[in-house]
Every structure is written in C-alpha cells, then in structure tokens.
Amino acid sequence: MTEERAEKFLELFNKGKEFTEELLRENQRLRYRLAMLETESAAGSNDEIQRLRDEVQQLTEENRRIAQRFKEVEEENKDFANRYIEVEEQNNNLANLYVASYQLHSTLDFREVIQIVQEIVINLIGAESFAILLLDEKTNELKTIASEGEDVMPGIESISTRLGDGVLGSVAKTGESYYINQDLEDGGKVTLDKPLAAVPLKIKEHVIGLVVIYKLLQQKDSFSAVDYELFSLLAAHAATAIFSSKLYSQSERKLNTIQSFLDLLTTTS
Amino acid sequence: MASDNANFLVVEDSPTMRQLISFSLKRFKNARILEAVDGVDALKKLSGPDKIDLILTDINMPVMDGLKLVSLVRQNAQLKNIPIIIITTEGAEEDRERGLALGANAYISKPIQSSHLIKTISELLTV
C-alpha cells in the first residue's frame, strides 16, 4: 500500500517536474521573444525619429526659403510702389505739358497766347512774380510785354535791356537757361537783373524772348528737378506759339493794308 | 472707388486751368466732367438734368465769383449737400477762410498737384 502510494507520489512528482520544465522552456522562449521584440521596437522608433528629424529639417529649410522669398517680394512691392509714384508723377507732368501745349497752340491771337503763357507760368511753374520779355530784332533790345507780381518786384513791367547785357541779355544771347545759385555769398539775392530763373523762348537756336521768374508761390519752395525740364519744354512751345501768333497778326495787318489799297484803287478807277 | 462714376463740375474762367483740372479728374473711372466759366454758368449747370457729385471752383472769376457761388449753393435746399472744393492762390488766405466759412469742404492751392487733388476728392466722396 505504501509502495503504491510512493509510486503515485513519484508519478505526480515526475509530472510536476515535466510541467515545471515545460514552464521553464516556455519562459525561456517568451523571454527570447520579448528580447527580440524589444530590439525590433527600438530599431523602429529610431527610424521614425530619424524620419521625423529629416522632415523637420526639410520644413525648416522650406520655411527659410519662403521667408527669403517673402522678403524679396516685399522688396519688389516697395520698388513697384515707388515706381508707381514716379510713373504717376511723370503722367501728371505729361498731362500738364499736353494741356499747356494744346492751349498754347489753340489760338493765333497774340494777346491770347501771352495770356495763356502767363496762366501756365502761374499754374504750372508756380510763379508769383515774373515777366515775359520779347526781343526786338531791329534794336536788339529785350522789353517786357507782360508781367505779374509787380508789387513783389517793382520795375518788371518795364524791363528794357540790350542783347548780351547782364544776366537777361546773356541768356537771350547764348540761349542757355539761367537759374540762380542760392548758395552764393549774397544768399542768391534776387534783383531785377538777377532773377530766380530766366528761360529763353527759342525756336531751335533762334531766341525770340525770355520768361523771367522773380518769385515762386509761397507753397513752392524751390524748383524741382522736373521743373527745369518742364520749364524748357513749355518755353519751346510758348516760343513757337508767340512767334506764329505774331506772324499771323503781322500778316493780318498787311492783308488789311493791301485790301484797303486795292479798295482804294478800285474806287478811284 | 466711391469717386468712380461721379459727376464733377469744374468752375474756372481760365480755359487752361479748366482743362488741367478736367484732365486730372479723368483719373476717376467713368467720371463725367461739366465745365462752367463763372458762378452764373455753374448755377445753370447745377439746375440742369445732371446730378453733380462734387464742385471744384476758382475764387476769382468775372460775373460771379467762387465765394458767391459757394454761398448760393449752401443756401439751396437741393444743392446744399454737394461737396465743394475751392481753388485758391497763394496770399489769398482770407478768400480761403471765407470760402471754408461759407461752407466749402476743402481747398487746394495753385499750382495744383494732381495727386493732391485726387486725394482730396477721394476723401470727400468716401465720407
């Protein structure tokens, strides 16, 4: 009986031993599997991190490129804005020039042309005190034919100077515009013979007179760069307009004289 | 722009100035520009069929000057709300002040800067 129990116990013990061994094997296998999985997992996350790092670097680079492009576009915008202002200004000047020349050539009446020149000098050049002088080719004398702002510069209504004399005479002789140098020791003091500006009215190289500026309107401090250009172009248009209107009035006068003479002849015959 | 499709009345006795101002106003899209040579002519245009959105007037004009025109426009029930810009010359501060006191909305000085004119008009017509 005792033997039978001992055998059963032994059998049970053996089964327990086998089971324990099997458990140990399984344990071993699982530990091995765990170790494998841990290794795989570690390798996987390293790849992911690397991939993400690469992506971050790419995005940073792209960001830098976009920021750089943005800066360039900003600069381009500023350039365009400045250019736009310049074009606008140019456009205004051209429009002014167009209107002025259109008006100057819209009539052949001498007094009307002079009136238009005066309006242009006031409204486009911005002059408060100025004189328009014409050259008498017989006497070689420059004389005022129209003026504005006599209270500011007394005497401008009756300027009379010989070709080649003083600033005005020299401008008429050389055909070169004169602009006062305000940096001189006398502070660029304006006098009757030393104006702010004197621009010849010339047709090609033939000077027929001058536009002489003595004072600008209060809101206009000085001549701007474009004023010089505008002034010269206007003076050229004014010269042809004055010259043709003068010729027209002369021819009208001659025509009237001839007509009267013919009338007289036909009446007497 | 609020100033697009606007009808402008330019009151100025000098044809050169009238043309210069009208030329500047052509910047406004579909702008219609009516011109008058003095205050009386302006009142005739204002009583015509065209609805005027803004008046630009010189001060010194024959027949009826700009100040009288401003005063009459402001007294007229139908016209009193039309914005008016007076065009003044240097040394005419008194005219400028009188013009503004009579009801002009703004002033511009000669020589007229086109960009300044456009800006002033745009501001007045946007309000």
- Closest-CA distance, A112 to chain B, in angstroms, reads 11
With a cut of 60, say whether residue A185 has pLDDT above it: no
Confidence at B91, pLDDT banded by 50, 70, 90: low
- Percentage of chain A modeled with pLDDT above 90: 30
Query: How many C-alpha atoms does A157 have within 13 Å on its Cβ side?
Result: 6
Rounded to a whole number, what is the distance in Å from the CA of A78 to chain B's nearest CA?
19
Number of residue pairs across A and B with CB atoms under 8 Å? Answer: 55
- What lies within 8 Å, CB to CB, of A84 at 6+ separation is none
Domain presence at residue A61: no
**H or E segment to which residue A216 belongs:** strand A206-216
Number of domains in chain A: 1
> Hey, of A90, A96, A112, A237, which one would you mutate to test binding to chain B, going by the most B CBs within 10 A of its CB?
A96
Disruptive mutation site among A87, A89, A98, A99 for chain B (greatest number of B CBs within 10 Å) = A99
Give one DSSP letter per residue of B34-84, joined into a string.
EEESSHHHHHHHHTSSSPPSEEEEES--SSS-HHHHHHHHHH-TTTTTS-E
Rounded CA-CA distance A222/A234 in Å is 18
Q: Which domain holds residue A205?
A: 109-255
User: Once rounded to an integer, what is the mean pLDDT over residues A226-233?
Assistant: 81
pLDDT at position A188: 66
Contact list in B for residue A88 (CB cut-off 8 A) is 115
CA A124, B29, B32 angle in degrees (round to 5)?
A: 75
Any domain includes A10? no
B14: nearest CB among A119, A218, A219: A119
The CA distance from A161 to A155, in Å, is 12
| Residue A78 confidence (pLDDT) | 92
Domain harbouring A217, CATH code: 3.30.450.40
Segment A49-72 mean pLDDT? 91
Nearest to A99 among B23, B89, B109 (CB): B23
Residues in CB range of A106: below 8 A, 6 or more apart? A116, B15
Tell me the pLDDT band of B43, cut-offs 50, 70 and 90.
Answer: very high
CA A8 to chain centre: 113
Structure tokens at B114: 């086109």
For residue A30, tell me if it sits in a domain: no
Compute the distance between CA of residue A41 and CA of residue A44 in angstroms, rounded to an integer.
Answer: 5
| CA A235 – CA A202 distance, rounded (Å) | 7
Nearest-by-CA chain A residue for B113:
A92
Whether A5 maps to a domain, the answer reads no
- Whether A56 is in a domain gets the answer no
Specify the higher pLDDT residue, B92 or B39.
B39
Q: Between chains, do A92 and B112 touch, taking CB under 8 Å as contact? A: no
pLDDT of residue B72: 93
Instruction: Decide if A67 is inside a domain.
Output: no
Delineate the domains of chain B, giving CATH numbers in brackets: 7-126 (3.40.50.2300)
Of A185-189, A239-243, A257-261, the range with the lowest mean pLDDT is A185-189
CB contact under 8 A, A125 and B111: yes
Q: For residue A183, is pLDDT > 70? A: no
Mean pLDDT estimate for chain A = 86
